[in-house]
Amino acid sequence: MTALMDIPAVPTPARRAFSAASAFMLGFLALVLFIYVCKVAKEIMIPFVIAFFLWYLINAVARVLAVPRIWRGKPLPRGARTVLSVMLLSLLIFVVGSLVRDNIDQVVQEAPKFQASFEKMLADGAQRIGVEQVPSFAELVNLAKQHMDIGEVMSGFAALLTNLASRTFVIVVFIGLLLYEQRFFAQKMRRMVRGRNAAAQWHRVFRVIDVKIQRYVGVKAFVSALDSFLTFIILSLFRVDFAVFWGIMAFFLHFIPYAGSFVAISMPVIIALIQFGDLSTTFMVLAVLCTSHAFLGHILDPYLMGNNLNLSPIFIITNLAMWGMIWGVPGMFLAIPILALASITLAQFKTTRPLAVMVSKTGELEKKPKHEEAAA
Protein backbone atom coordinates (compact mmCIF):
# COMPACT_ATOMS: atom_id res chain seq x y z
CA MET A 1 0.00 0.00 0.00
CA THR A 2 2.56 2.52 1.13
CA ALA A 3 4.92 1.63 -1.69
CA LEU A 4 2.21 2.38 -4.21
CA MET A 5 1.40 5.66 -2.59
CA ASP A 6 5.04 6.78 -2.76
CA ILE A 7 5.00 6.83 -6.54
CA PRO A 8 4.53 10.45 -7.61
CA ALA A 9 1.17 11.12 -9.22
CA VAL A 10 2.71 12.61 -12.35
CA PRO A 11 1.27 10.74 -15.35
CA THR A 12 4.05 9.07 -17.30
CA PRO A 13 3.45 8.18 -20.98
CA ALA A 14 3.09 4.50 -20.06
CA ARG A 15 0.62 5.29 -17.35
CA ARG A 16 -1.36 7.46 -19.71
CA ALA A 17 -1.44 4.74 -22.34
CA PHE A 18 -2.65 2.22 -19.78
CA SER A 19 -5.42 4.41 -18.48
CA ALA A 20 -6.48 5.33 -22.01
CA ALA A 21 -6.62 1.65 -22.89
CA SER A 22 -8.68 0.80 -19.84
CA ALA A 23 -10.99 3.70 -20.55
CA PHE A 24 -11.60 2.46 -24.08
CA MET A 25 -12.09 -1.13 -23.02
CA LEU A 26 -14.43 -0.22 -20.21
CA GLY A 27 -16.28 2.12 -22.53
CA PHE A 28 -16.65 -0.70 -24.99
CA LEU A 29 -17.96 -3.06 -22.31
CA ALA A 30 -20.39 -0.44 -21.12
CA LEU A 31 -21.57 0.17 -24.67
CA VAL A 32 -22.20 -3.53 -25.24
CA LEU A 33 -24.05 -3.73 -21.96
CA PHE A 34 -26.06 -0.65 -22.88
CA ILE A 35 -27.09 -2.26 -26.15
CA TYR A 36 -28.11 -5.37 -24.26
CA VAL A 37 -30.16 -3.21 -21.89
CA CYS A 38 -31.83 -1.64 -24.95
CA LYS A 39 -32.78 -5.11 -26.10
CA VAL A 40 -34.13 -6.21 -22.73
CA ALA A 41 -35.98 -2.96 -22.05
CA LYS A 42 -37.27 -2.57 -25.59
CA GLU A 43 -40.88 -2.20 -24.50
CA ILE A 44 -40.04 1.16 -22.96
CA MET A 45 -37.00 2.17 -25.01
CA ILE A 46 -38.58 1.97 -28.45
CA PRO A 47 -41.53 4.21 -27.56
CA PHE A 48 -39.14 6.61 -25.88
CA VAL A 49 -36.83 6.86 -28.88
CA ILE A 50 -39.78 7.32 -31.25
CA ALA A 51 -41.21 9.95 -28.91
CA PHE A 52 -37.83 11.64 -28.80
CA PHE A 53 -37.66 12.04 -32.58
CA LEU A 54 -41.31 13.08 -32.85
CA TRP A 55 -40.66 15.64 -30.14
CA TYR A 56 -37.84 17.04 -32.25
CA LEU A 57 -40.14 17.09 -35.25
CA ILE A 58 -42.75 19.04 -33.27
CA ASN A 59 -40.14 21.57 -32.26
CA ALA A 60 -38.83 21.80 -35.82
CA VAL A 61 -42.32 22.53 -37.13
CA ALA A 62 -42.86 25.01 -34.30
CA ARG A 63 -39.68 26.77 -35.36
CA VAL A 64 -40.87 26.96 -38.96
CA LEU A 65 -44.15 28.42 -37.74
CA ALA A 66 -42.18 31.26 -36.15
CA VAL A 67 -41.26 32.57 -39.59
CA PRO A 68 -44.53 34.28 -40.56
CA ARG A 69 -44.80 37.59 -38.74
CA ILE A 70 -48.45 37.48 -37.89
CA TRP A 71 -49.09 40.71 -36.16
CA ARG A 72 -46.95 43.87 -35.96
CA GLY A 73 -43.94 41.97 -37.20
CA LYS A 74 -44.08 39.50 -34.32
CA PRO A 75 -44.40 35.74 -34.68
CA LEU A 76 -46.85 33.66 -32.71
CA PRO A 77 -45.89 33.08 -29.09
CA ARG A 78 -43.94 29.92 -28.39
CA GLY A 79 -46.67 28.02 -26.61
CA ALA A 80 -49.18 28.69 -29.39
CA ARG A 81 -46.67 27.54 -31.99
CA THR A 82 -46.06 24.29 -30.16
CA VAL A 83 -49.79 23.64 -29.82
CA LEU A 84 -50.33 24.45 -33.48
CA SER A 85 -47.48 22.18 -34.54
CA VAL A 86 -48.83 19.32 -32.42
CA MET A 87 -52.25 19.85 -33.97
CA LEU A 88 -50.86 19.91 -37.51
CA LEU A 89 -48.81 16.78 -37.00
CA SER A 90 -51.60 14.85 -35.33
CA LEU A 91 -53.98 15.84 -38.11
CA LEU A 92 -51.41 14.53 -40.59
CA ILE A 93 -50.94 11.31 -38.64
CA PHE A 94 -54.70 10.90 -38.37
CA VAL A 95 -55.19 11.32 -42.12
CA VAL A 96 -52.32 8.98 -42.93
CA GLY A 97 -53.53 6.48 -40.37
CA SER A 98 -57.03 6.37 -41.77
CA LEU A 99 -55.64 6.02 -45.29
CA VAL A 100 -53.46 3.13 -44.17
CA ARG A 101 -56.40 1.54 -42.41
CA ASP A 102 -58.53 1.77 -45.51
CA ASN A 103 -55.77 0.35 -47.68
CA ILE A 104 -54.34 -2.42 -45.55
CA ASP A 105 -57.50 -4.50 -45.59
CA GLN A 106 -57.67 -4.23 -49.32
CA VAL A 107 -54.01 -5.15 -49.73
CA VAL A 108 -54.23 -8.13 -47.42
CA GLN A 109 -57.37 -9.33 -49.16
CA GLU A 110 -55.91 -9.07 -52.61
CA ALA A 111 -52.49 -10.43 -51.71
CA PRO A 112 -53.35 -14.12 -52.29
CA LYS A 113 -54.76 -13.30 -55.72
CA PHE A 114 -51.54 -11.57 -56.63
CA GLN A 115 -49.54 -14.40 -55.20
CA ALA A 116 -51.42 -16.87 -57.40
CA SER A 117 -50.82 -14.95 -60.59
CA PHE A 118 -47.23 -14.36 -59.57
CA GLU A 119 -46.67 -18.08 -59.16
CA LYS A 120 -48.30 -18.72 -62.50
CA MET A 121 -46.02 -16.21 -64.14
CA LEU A 122 -42.96 -17.77 -62.59
CA ALA A 123 -44.02 -21.18 -63.85
CA ASP A 124 -44.74 -19.77 -67.31
CA GLY A 125 -41.34 -18.14 -67.40
CA ALA A 126 -39.71 -21.38 -66.38
CA GLN A 127 -41.38 -23.27 -69.20
CA ARG A 128 -40.62 -20.60 -71.75
CA ILE A 129 -36.92 -20.35 -70.97
CA GLY A 130 -35.77 -23.87 -70.22
CA VAL A 131 -37.11 -27.14 -71.47
CA GLU A 132 -34.46 -29.36 -69.97
CA GLN A 133 -34.00 -28.09 -66.41
CA VAL A 134 -37.57 -28.54 -65.27
CA PRO A 135 -36.73 -29.97 -61.82
CA SER A 136 -34.26 -27.20 -61.01
CA PHE A 137 -36.85 -24.62 -62.02
CA ALA A 138 -39.40 -26.20 -59.78
CA GLU A 139 -36.89 -25.73 -57.02
CA LEU A 140 -36.39 -22.15 -58.05
CA VAL A 141 -40.09 -21.50 -57.91
CA ASN A 142 -40.14 -23.04 -54.47
CA LEU A 143 -37.20 -20.92 -53.43
CA ALA A 144 -38.78 -17.79 -54.82
CA LYS A 145 -41.98 -18.62 -53.02
CA GLN A 146 -40.13 -19.01 -49.78
CA HIS A 147 -38.37 -15.71 -50.18
CA MET A 148 -41.17 -13.74 -51.72
CA ASP A 149 -44.26 -14.74 -49.88
CA ILE A 150 -46.05 -11.55 -50.80
CA GLY A 151 -48.97 -12.22 -48.53
CA GLU A 152 -46.63 -12.67 -45.59
CA VAL A 153 -44.64 -9.57 -46.40
CA MET A 154 -47.77 -7.48 -46.57
CA SER A 155 -49.35 -8.85 -43.43
CA GLY A 156 -45.96 -8.29 -41.81
CA PHE A 157 -46.26 -4.62 -42.64
CA ALA A 158 -49.85 -4.59 -41.44
CA ALA A 159 -48.80 -6.18 -38.15
CA LEU A 160 -46.05 -3.63 -37.80
CA LEU A 161 -48.49 -0.77 -38.19
CA THR A 162 -50.98 -2.21 -35.70
CA ASN A 163 -48.11 -2.78 -33.28
CA LEU A 164 -47.20 0.84 -33.73
CA ALA A 165 -50.75 1.86 -32.96
CA SER A 166 -50.78 -0.07 -29.70
CA ARG A 167 -47.62 1.70 -28.64
CA THR A 168 -49.09 5.05 -29.54
CA PHE A 169 -50.38 5.66 -26.05
CA VAL A 170 -46.97 5.33 -24.42
CA ILE A 171 -45.40 7.42 -27.17
CA VAL A 172 -47.98 10.17 -26.69
CA VAL A 173 -47.35 10.19 -22.94
CA PHE A 174 -43.62 10.53 -23.50
CA ILE A 175 -44.04 13.33 -26.03
CA GLY A 176 -46.32 15.18 -23.64
CA LEU A 177 -43.81 14.88 -20.82
CA LEU A 178 -40.91 15.95 -23.03
CA LEU A 179 -42.85 19.00 -24.19
CA TYR A 180 -43.78 19.78 -20.60
CA GLU A 181 -40.27 19.39 -19.26
CA GLN A 182 -38.34 20.96 -22.09
CA ARG A 183 -38.55 24.45 -20.65
CA PHE A 184 -36.47 23.25 -17.70
CA PHE A 185 -33.78 21.52 -19.74
CA ALA A 186 -31.44 24.50 -20.10
CA GLN A 187 -31.76 25.37 -16.45
CA LYS A 188 -31.24 21.77 -15.47
CA MET A 189 -28.09 21.56 -17.51
CA ARG A 190 -26.74 24.76 -15.99
CA ARG A 191 -27.19 23.27 -12.57
CA MET A 192 -25.58 19.99 -13.57
CA VAL A 193 -22.26 21.62 -14.41
CA ARG A 194 -20.16 23.37 -11.83
CA GLY A 195 -18.39 26.53 -12.85
CA ARG A 196 -19.74 29.23 -15.13
CA ASN A 197 -17.19 28.64 -17.89
CA ALA A 198 -17.82 24.92 -18.16
CA ALA A 199 -21.56 25.56 -18.08
CA ALA A 200 -21.30 28.01 -20.96
CA GLN A 201 -19.22 25.54 -22.95
CA TRP A 202 -21.67 22.72 -22.41
CA HIS A 203 -24.51 25.04 -23.27
CA ARG A 204 -22.91 25.88 -26.59
CA VAL A 205 -22.22 22.24 -27.37
CA PHE A 206 -25.79 21.24 -26.67
CA ARG A 207 -27.04 24.16 -28.69
CA VAL A 208 -25.06 22.89 -31.70
CA ILE A 209 -26.27 19.33 -31.20
CA ASP A 210 -29.83 20.53 -30.79
CA VAL A 211 -29.81 22.60 -33.97
CA LYS A 212 -28.24 19.78 -35.98
CA ILE A 213 -30.65 17.13 -34.78
CA GLN A 214 -33.52 19.47 -35.45
CA ARG A 215 -32.29 20.07 -38.97
CA TYR A 216 -31.73 16.35 -39.49
CA VAL A 217 -35.20 15.39 -38.29
CA GLY A 218 -36.87 18.22 -40.19
CA VAL A 219 -35.09 17.51 -43.47
CA LYS A 220 -35.63 13.76 -43.22
CA ALA A 221 -39.32 14.20 -42.53
CA PHE A 222 -39.71 16.65 -45.39
CA VAL A 223 -37.82 14.54 -47.93
CA SER A 224 -39.67 11.40 -46.88
CA ALA A 225 -42.99 13.16 -47.27
CA LEU A 226 -41.91 14.32 -50.71
CA ASP A 227 -40.82 10.80 -51.57
CA SER A 228 -44.14 9.45 -50.44
CA PHE A 229 -46.02 12.01 -52.50
CA LEU A 230 -43.91 11.42 -55.64
CA THR A 231 -44.30 7.65 -55.35
CA PHE A 232 -48.04 8.06 -55.06
CA ILE A 233 -48.20 10.38 -58.09
CA ILE A 234 -46.02 8.11 -60.23
CA LEU A 235 -47.89 4.94 -59.34
CA SER A 236 -51.29 6.50 -59.88
CA LEU A 237 -50.18 7.96 -63.21
CA PHE A 238 -49.27 4.45 -64.31
CA ARG A 239 -52.47 3.15 -62.68
CA VAL A 240 -50.59 0.64 -60.56
CA ASP A 241 -52.75 -0.91 -57.83
CA PHE A 242 -52.45 0.23 -54.23
CA ALA A 243 -50.79 3.52 -55.13
CA VAL A 244 -51.85 5.07 -51.82
CA PHE A 245 -50.50 2.15 -49.82
CA TRP A 246 -47.11 2.23 -51.51
CA GLY A 247 -46.99 5.99 -51.26
CA ILE A 248 -47.40 5.76 -47.51
CA MET A 249 -44.99 2.86 -47.25
CA ALA A 250 -42.42 4.93 -49.14
CA PHE A 251 -42.53 7.50 -46.33
CA PHE A 252 -41.54 4.93 -43.72
CA LEU A 253 -39.16 3.02 -45.97
CA HIS A 254 -37.29 6.21 -46.73
CA PHE A 255 -35.84 6.04 -43.22
CA ILE A 256 -34.11 2.76 -44.09
CA PRO A 257 -31.28 3.56 -46.51
CA TYR A 258 -30.60 1.20 -49.41
CA ALA A 259 -32.77 -1.67 -48.20
CA GLY A 260 -35.74 0.64 -47.77
CA SER A 261 -35.32 2.15 -51.23
CA PHE A 262 -34.92 -1.30 -52.66
CA VAL A 263 -38.19 -2.48 -51.15
CA ALA A 264 -39.97 0.77 -51.97
CA ILE A 265 -39.01 0.37 -55.64
CA SER A 266 -39.10 -3.37 -56.16
CA MET A 267 -42.44 -4.12 -54.54
CA PRO A 268 -44.51 -1.72 -56.66
CA VAL A 269 -42.57 -2.85 -59.72
CA ILE A 270 -43.40 -6.49 -59.00
CA ILE A 271 -47.01 -5.52 -58.52
CA ALA A 272 -46.92 -3.66 -61.82
CA LEU A 273 -45.35 -6.67 -63.53
CA ILE A 274 -48.04 -8.97 -62.25
CA GLN A 275 -50.80 -6.49 -62.92
CA PHE A 276 -49.85 -5.55 -66.48
CA GLY A 277 -47.94 -8.69 -67.46
CA ASP A 278 -46.08 -6.37 -69.75
CA LEU A 279 -42.35 -5.75 -69.57
CA SER A 280 -42.21 -2.32 -71.22
CA THR A 281 -44.67 -0.69 -68.79
CA THR A 282 -42.90 -2.35 -65.90
CA PHE A 283 -39.58 -0.94 -67.03
CA MET A 284 -41.11 2.49 -67.37
CA VAL A 285 -42.39 2.30 -63.78
CA LEU A 286 -39.01 1.04 -62.63
CA ALA A 287 -37.12 3.80 -64.44
CA VAL A 288 -39.32 6.61 -63.17
CA LEU A 289 -39.29 5.34 -59.59
CA CYS A 290 -35.51 4.96 -59.71
CA THR A 291 -35.12 8.48 -61.03
CA SER A 292 -37.29 9.96 -58.34
CA HIS A 293 -35.45 8.04 -55.63
CA ALA A 294 -32.07 9.01 -57.03
CA PHE A 295 -33.09 12.66 -57.20
CA LEU A 296 -34.38 12.70 -53.64
CA GLY A 297 -31.63 10.60 -52.10
CA HIS A 298 -28.59 11.90 -53.93
CA ILE A 299 -29.44 15.48 -54.85
CA LEU A 300 -32.17 16.98 -52.69
CA ASP A 301 -31.28 15.28 -49.43
CA PRO A 302 -27.56 16.21 -49.39
CA TYR A 303 -28.46 19.72 -50.58
CA LEU A 304 -30.91 20.35 -47.76
CA MET A 305 -28.76 18.62 -45.17
CA GLY A 306 -25.96 21.03 -46.03
CA ASN A 307 -23.75 17.97 -46.36
CA ASN A 308 -23.12 18.15 -42.64
CA LEU A 309 -24.10 14.58 -42.13
CA ASN A 310 -22.20 12.24 -44.36
CA LEU A 311 -22.47 8.73 -43.01
CA SER A 312 -20.40 5.87 -44.34
CA PRO A 313 -22.52 3.36 -46.28
CA ILE A 314 -20.69 0.50 -44.60
CA PHE A 315 -21.60 1.79 -41.18
CA ILE A 316 -25.15 2.47 -42.32
CA ILE A 317 -25.59 -1.13 -43.44
CA THR A 318 -23.96 -2.69 -40.38
CA ASN A 319 -25.83 -0.34 -38.08
CA LEU A 320 -29.06 -1.28 -39.82
CA ALA A 321 -28.35 -4.95 -39.27
CA MET A 322 -27.40 -4.33 -35.66
CA TRP A 323 -30.54 -2.40 -34.71
CA GLY A 324 -32.60 -4.86 -36.68
CA MET A 325 -31.14 -7.54 -34.43
CA ILE A 326 -31.75 -5.53 -31.28
CA TRP A 327 -35.24 -4.14 -31.85
CA GLY A 328 -36.52 -6.00 -34.88
CA VAL A 329 -38.34 -4.01 -37.56
CA PRO A 330 -38.80 -0.83 -35.46
CA GLY A 331 -35.05 -0.91 -34.90
CA MET A 332 -34.42 -0.80 -38.64
CA PHE A 333 -36.50 2.34 -38.95
CA LEU A 334 -34.77 3.98 -36.02
CA ALA A 335 -31.24 2.78 -36.87
CA ILE A 336 -30.15 5.69 -39.04
CA PRO A 337 -31.70 8.45 -36.94
CA ILE A 338 -29.91 6.93 -33.94
CA LEU A 339 -26.62 6.72 -35.86
CA ALA A 340 -27.02 10.32 -36.98
CA LEU A 341 -27.76 11.42 -33.44
CA ALA A 342 -24.73 9.54 -32.13
CA SER A 343 -22.42 10.93 -34.80
CA ILE A 344 -23.64 14.50 -34.25
CA THR A 345 -23.08 14.15 -30.52
CA LEU A 346 -19.71 12.40 -30.75
CA ALA A 347 -18.40 15.04 -33.14
CA GLN A 348 -18.80 17.75 -30.52
CA PHE A 349 -16.22 16.40 -28.09
CA LYS A 350 -12.52 16.35 -28.63
CA THR A 351 -12.02 12.85 -27.25
CA THR A 352 -14.88 11.23 -29.13
CA ARG A 353 -14.40 13.11 -32.38
CA PRO A 354 -12.33 10.28 -33.92
CA LEU A 355 -15.33 7.98 -33.54
CA ALA A 356 -17.53 10.46 -35.41
CA VAL A 357 -14.90 10.67 -38.15
CA MET A 358 -14.87 6.89 -38.34
CA VAL A 359 -18.59 6.61 -39.09
CA SER A 360 -18.48 9.42 -41.66
CA LYS A 361 -18.16 8.77 -45.35
CA THR A 362 -15.45 11.21 -46.39
CA GLY A 363 -13.79 11.71 -43.03
CA GLU A 364 -14.65 15.38 -43.15
CA LEU A 365 -17.03 16.47 -40.46
CA GLU A 366 -18.10 19.64 -42.30
CA LYS A 367 -16.81 22.64 -40.43
CA LYS A 368 -15.53 22.50 -36.92
CA PRO A 369 -17.90 23.33 -34.09
CA LYS A 370 -17.89 27.00 -33.26
CA HIS A 371 -16.32 26.71 -29.86
CA GLU A 372 -13.31 24.86 -31.23
CA GLU A 373 -12.91 27.40 -34.00
CA ALA A 374 -12.83 30.17 -31.45
CA ALA A 375 -10.27 28.30 -29.37
CA ALA A 376 -7.96 27.72 -32.34
Partner 1 sequence: MLKEKIPTPLAAADDGAWTSAVSTYALGFMVVCTVVYLLTVSAAITIPFVIAVCVWYLLNAIARGLSRVHIGGKSMPRFVCLFVAILFLAGGLWSVIDLISRSAAEVVREAPHYQANLEVMLPKILALMGLSEQVTAQDIREYFNLTFIITALAKTFSGIAGKAMVVTFYTGFLLYEQKFFNRKIVEMIEDRDTENHVRRILRNIDISIQHYVWVKALISVLTGLLVYVFLLQNGVNFSKFWALMAFVLNFIPYVGSLLAVALPSMIALIQFGDLSMFLSVLLGLSVIQVGFGLIVEPRMMGRTLNLSPIMIIFSLAAGWMIWRVPGLFLAVPILVMITITLSQFAHTRPLAVLMTKTGRLEIIDDTSPLPPVAGDGDAPSKPKKKATARKAKKGGKA
Task: Write out the residues near partner 1 by the rule CB under 8 A.
Answer: 11, 15-16, 19-20, 22-24, 26-27, 29-31, 33-34, 37, 40-41, 43-44, 101, 105, 158, 162, 166, 173-174, 177-178, 180-181, 184, 187-194, 198, 201-202, 205, 341-342, 345, 349-352, 371, 375
Cβ proximity to partner 1: between 43 and 132 the closer is 43
Give the C-alpha separation, 288 to 236, whole Å.
12
Q: Which residues contact 366 (CB under 8 A, 6 or more apart)?
A: 306, 307, 308
Shortest reach from residue 346's CB to partner 1, in Å: 8
**Radius of gyration over alpha carbons of the chain, in Å?**
25
Shortest distance in whole angstroms from residue 194 CB to partner 1:
8
If DSSP states are collapsed to H, E and C, what string results for the chain? CHHHHHCCCCCCHHHHHHHHHHHHHHHHHHHHHHHHHHHHCHHHHHHHHHHHHHHHHHHHHHHHHCCCCCECCECCCHHHHHHHHHHHHHHHHHHHHHHHHHHHHHHHHHHHHHHHHHHHHHHHHHHHHCCCCHHHHHHHHHHHHHHCCHHHHHHHHHHHHHHHHHHHHHHHHHHHHHHHHHHHHHHHHHHHCCCHHHHHHHHHHHHHHHHHHHHHHHHHHHHHHHHHHHHHHHHHHCCCCCHHHHHHHHHHHCCCCCHHHHHHHHHHHHHHHHHHCCHHHHHHHHHHHHHHHHHHHHHHHHHHCCCCCCECHHHHHHHHHHHHHHHCHHHHHHHHHHHHHHHHHHCCCCCCHHHHHHHECCCCCCCCCHHHHHHC
Closer residue to partner 1, CB minimum distance, 72 or 350: 350
Closer CB to partner 1, residue 88 or residue 161? 161
Nearer to partner 1, 174 or 245 (CB): 174
Cβ atoms within 10 A of the Cβ of 341, count?
A: 20
Nearer to partner 1, 71 or 180 (CB): 180
- Least distance in angstroms from the C-beta of 274 to partner 1: 26
Pick 117 or 201: Cβ nearer partner 1: 201
The nearest distance, CB 325 to partner 1, in angstroms, is 19
* Least spacing, CB of residue 197 vs partner 1, in Å: 9
Instruction: Report the residue number, 19 or 136, with the smaller CB distance to partner 1.
Output: 19
Q: Minimum distance between the CB of residue 72 and partner 1, rounded to whole angstroms? A: 33
CA-to-CA distance for 285 and 98, rounded, in angstroms?
27
- Minimum Å gap between C-beta 38 and partner 1 is 9
CB of residue 236 vs partner 1: minimum separation in angstroms? Answer: 25
Nearer to partner 1, 105 or 139 (CB): 105
In the complex, minimum distance from the CB of residue 129 to partner 1, in angstroms, rounded to a whole number? 41
User: Among residues 123, 115, 106, 100, which one has the least CA distance to residue 150?
Assistant: 115
Is the CB of 52 or the CB of 333 nearer to partner 1?
52
